[in-house]
Amino acid sequence: MSRLLAAIAWLLVLASPGICGDSIVGTWRVQSFVREVVATGQRYNEFGAKPEGYITYLPDGRMHAMLVADNRVKPTGAVPTDEEKAKLFGTMIAYAGTYRIDGDKVVHDVEVSWNQLWTGSKQVRFFKAEGDTLTITTAVAKSPRDGQEGRTMVVFKRVH
C-alpha cells in the first residue's frame, strides 16, 4: 500500500507544476524581448514589438526554448535563398538541454542549439516568477546579433 501511495504522490508531482518545487516549471509564452546595451543604457525591442515563442521547463530537469522576431522574412520559394537563410537565422533563438535552479538563477546546460557556439555551453539566466509571469534576464554578454555588451529581459506568461 505504501508503494501505491508513493507512486500516486510521484505522479501528482509530475503532473502539476504547482506541486513541484520550482516555480518556473511549465510552459511560458513570450510577451516581450527587450535588449539593454550596457555602454549606453539604450533599451529596444530586439525582436520587434510582438515577438513569438515559448520556453518550457519540465519537472525532470529538461528545458527547451524557441523565440522568434515579429518581422521575419518569408522565403520567396520552397528553398530559402542564402540571404533569406541568414535573415531567418538572425531573428531566432532556439535551444534545448537541461536546467538547474541556483537561488535567483537558472542555469541552462545547452545540448542542442540554433547557434553551435552555444551547444555544450552553460547559459546563466536570472529569473523572477510572480504568478503567471516569468521574467528572465540574461547575464551581461555580447549579443550574437550585433556584438555589443548587454543583457536581454524576456517576459513570459504561463500557458501551462
SS (H, E, C) 56-76: EECCCCEEEEEEECCCCCCCC
Domain boundaries, the chain: 22-158
Amino acid at 42: Q
pLDDT in tens, 134-160: 999 999 988 877 788 999 999 999 996
- Please check whether residue 127 is in contact with residue 135, taking contact to mean a CB–CB distance below 8 angstroms: yes
pLDDT in tens, 55-108: 999 999 999 999 999 989 999 999 999 999 999 999 999 999 999 999 999 999
Mean pLDDT of 30-45: 95
Q: In whole angstroms, what is the distance from residue 4 CA to residue 158 CA?
A: 32
Q: In terms of Cα–Cα distance, which of 50, 23, 26, 24 is closest to 159?
A: 26
Tell me, what's the pLDDT at 153? 96
- Please check whether residue 151 is in contact with residue 136, taking contact to mean a CB–CB distance below 8 angstroms: no
Q: Which residues contact 40 (CB under 8 A, 6 or more apart)?
A: none
Q: Report the CATH number of the 22-158 domain.
A: 2.40.128.280
Furthest CA-CA distance within the chain: 63
Q: Does residue 14 carry a pLDDT above 50?
A: no
DSSP string, 76-128: SSSS--HHHHHHHHTTEEEEEEEEEEETTEEEEEEEEESSTTTTT-EEEEEEE
Burial 28-66 (b: 16+ CB within 10 A, else e): bebebbbbbeeeeeeeeebbbeebbbebbbbbeeebbbb
| Cα 104 versus chain centre, distance | 16
Give the predicted TM-score (pTM) of the model: 0.81
